[in-house]
Amino acid sequence: MRKEPKRPPPRDWPGVIGTAARLTHLARAKERNRNVAPAEAAQHARGKLTARERLTLLLDEDSFVEIDQLRRHQAYGMGMEKRRPPSDGVITGWGRVNGRKVFVFAHDFSVLGGSLGATFAKKIHKVQDLAMLAGAPMIGINDGAGARIQEGVNALAGYGGIFTRNVRASGIIPQISLMAGPCAGGAAYSPALTDFVVMVADIANMFVTGPDVVRAVSGEEVTTEQLGGASVHGRKSGVAQLIARDEKDGIAIVRELLGYLPANSRERPPRRMTTDAADRPCPRLSELVPAEPRKAYDVKHVIREMVDDGEFLEISDRWARNIVCAFAHLDGYAVGIVANQPSVMAGTLNIAAAEKAARFVRTCDTFNIPLVTLVDVPGFLPGTAQEHDGLIRRGAKLLYAYCDASVPRVSVILRKAYGGAYIVMDSKSVGSDFSFAWPTNEVAVMGSQAAVEVIHAKELRASDDPATRRSELVSAYETQLMSPYLCAEQGHVDDVIDPAETRTVLIRTLDVLRDKNAVRPLRKHGNIPL
C-alpha cells in the first residue's frame, strides 16, 4: 500500500504542532494584525483616525473584546489569493460606553480599502446577531469603499444579510451609524435603516450613484461633497440626524446619544443624576414667548429654560428647522421634545417638518421615551408645491406617529394653535394624555383676523367704518372662541397654567404617567402612509 507523503503545514498556521507553538503563533498573528504603522500613517495622511483609534475613543478604557480577529477571506482568483490580511477589513466585538454594554463594528480602510466581501459581511452578521441576543445597542463606524468587486455577487449577498438584520433589529435595539468616510452604492442603505446617522463634516459622504455616474448619465459636474457630504445630508436630504465637526466630536456625540436611550425596547432609558430641582420655577418663560401671536422667538430658549441644567441634544438641527426635535432630561428622566419653531417660517408645518417629527416621535415611542410637545403653530404651509409634493400623504405621517404612540404624552400650548396643525401636534383628540395651555394662548380653526374676514365679509363690505368694525369683531371672536379657558371648560385642555410652573407641571405629570400601560389592538402592524 502506497504511503501518502507528509504534507507541510500551511505557512500561516502551525497545523498539528503542540499547544505552546499554537499559542505562540496566535500571539504573533495578533501582533502582525496590530502592527499597522504604515497603514496608520496613510490613514492619518487622509486626516482620519484608524479603526482601532476610533474604537478606543468610543469605548470605556480596556473594555473592548474583539471577535473574529483572525478571520480571512476565502476568495481566490483576481489576485485575491495573495492578499489575505487578518480581520478582512472590519473590526468587530463588544465593549462598554459609560459602563453600559454595546456591540460595535468598525470598517478598516487600511485593509483593502474597507471594502466588503463575504467574510467581512459574515463578521458583521455575527456581531449584529449577538447584539440582538444580548439586547444591547449596535454601533457601526462606516469608512469603506463599498462592495469588493473581486468577490462579485458574494459581496452583494453579504449586504443583503446586513440589511435584513438592520430591519429585524429595528424597534428592538438602538442602532447608530457613525459615518467617518465614504459610503457609496448599496452600502448606504444599511446606515439609512438604522435609528441615527452621525456624519463627520468634510470626510464623510454617502450616495447611491457617485459623481462619475451622475456625469455620464446627466452631464452634471458634481463633487462627492456636493453630492453626498455631511452638509447635504444634514441640511437638504435629512439622511443625517447629527453632524460632527470632526471624528472625536462624532464619537462624543454617539456617547452622549446613548445616554438618552435604553439598551433595548424592553427597558427604560437610564436616569441621570441632577441637582436641578424638580420644582424650580421658570419665570423667564413669560418673557421668552411674546404675547403677540405674530412675533417671532426662538423656542430653543424655551426648551433650555425648562429642562434639567439647560442641556438638550437636538436631532436634525439643520434640516426642517421650522420644527425642533430634541432629547433632554426632566428630573433626571429622558424625554423627547417636539416643538414648533416660530423663528423659522413662523413655525408652520410642511412636508419636511412633518416627516422629521414623525420619525422622532416613532423613535421615542420605540425606546420608551416620554414625549413632550410644545405647540405654537399657525397651520400648514400653503402652496401648490407642498400640495403637489404630497403634503396630505406625507403630513399624515406625523398624525399617524402620534396616534400610534403608547408612551406618556404631554402637550403644552405656548401661544397659538390653529386649524389642522393644532390637531396634528398631539392634541387631546389624538390621544395626548395631558394637555396644558398658557393663559395667553389661542386655539381656533384659524387666526382671528382671517376668521373675521371669512365670517363677516358681507358686513365689513357694507360698513361705513370697516376698520373699526373689523377691530370690534376680531376682539369678540378672540373672547368667544379662542380663549384657553373655553378650551379647558370643554375639556380640550386639562388646565391653564402659569408659564413659570411649566417645568414643575411637566415633571409631576410625567411621574403620574411613569407606569402607563397602553393597550394596543392585536395586529401584525399598521400601514403608515409612507
- Annotation says 185 is catalytic: yes
End-to-end CA distance of the chain: 72
Question: Annotated catalytic, 155?
Answer: no
Q: What is the pLDDT of residue 8?
A: 46
Contacts of 276 (CB under 8 A, 6+ apart): 308, 309, 331
42 given a catalytic annotation: no
Cell, residue 516: 402607563
Contacts of 14 (CB under 8 A, 6+ apart): 21, 22, 25
* Inter-residue contact 259 to 385 (CB < 8 Å): no
pTM of the model: 0.89
> In which band, very low, low, confident or very high, does the pLDDT at 145 lie, cut at 50, 70 and 90?
confident
Round the average pLDDT of the chain to a whole number and report it.
89
The answer as to CATH 3.40.50.150 being correct for domain 43-73+85-258 is: no
Shortest CA distance to 136 belongs to which of 105, 164, 175, 191? 175
Identify the pLDDT of residue 111.
83
Residue 425 has pLDDT above 90, yes or no: yes
Catalytic residue among 136, 180, 358, 421: 421
Q: Of 171, 238, 259, 420, which one is the catalytic site residue?
A: 420
Given the DSSP bridges, would you call strands 196-200 and 442-444 parallel, antiparallel or unpaired?
unpaired
Q: What count of other Cβ atoms lies within 10 Å of the Cβ of residue 308?
A: 23
The DSSP 8-state label assigned to residue 274 in this structure reads -
The residues of the chain that CATH labels 3.90.226.10 are 43-73+85-258, 285-447+482-512
Q: What is the 3-state secondary structure (H, E, C) of 107-153?
A: ECCCCHHHCECHHHHHHHHHHHHHHHHHCCCEEEEECCCCECHHHCH
* pLDDT for 21 beyond 80: no
Please identify which of the residues 95, 117, 185, 228 carries the catalytic annotation: 185
Cα torsion 287, 293, 298, 300 to 10°: value is: 80
Q: Which of 171, 186, 238, 419 is catalytic?
A: 186
Q: What is the DSSP string of 447-516?
A: -HHHHHHHHTHHHHHH-SSHHHHHHHHHHHHHHHHS-HHHHHHTTSSSEE--GGGHHHHHHHHHHHTTT-
Cα 441 to Cα 291: distance, rounded to the nearest angstrom = 8
Quick check: is 420 catalytic?
A: yes
pLDDT for 191-249, tens place per residue?
999 999 999 999 999 999 889 889 999 999 999 999 999 999 999 999 999 999 999 99
What is the band of 4 on the pLDDT scale with cuts at 50, 70, 90? very low
Least confident of 4-18, 167-181, 476-490: 4-18
Determine contact, residues 320/356, Cβ cutoff 8 Å.
yes
pLDDT(101) > 80: yes
| Residue 426 · residue 432 · CB < 8 Å | yes
What DSSP state is assigned to residue 254? H
Number of H helices, E strands in the chain: 21, 17
Buried b / exposed e over 207-241, threshold 16 CB at 10 Å, is: beebbeebeeeeeeeeeebebbbbbbbbbeebbbb
Architecture of domain 285-447+482-512: Alpha-Beta Complex (3.90)
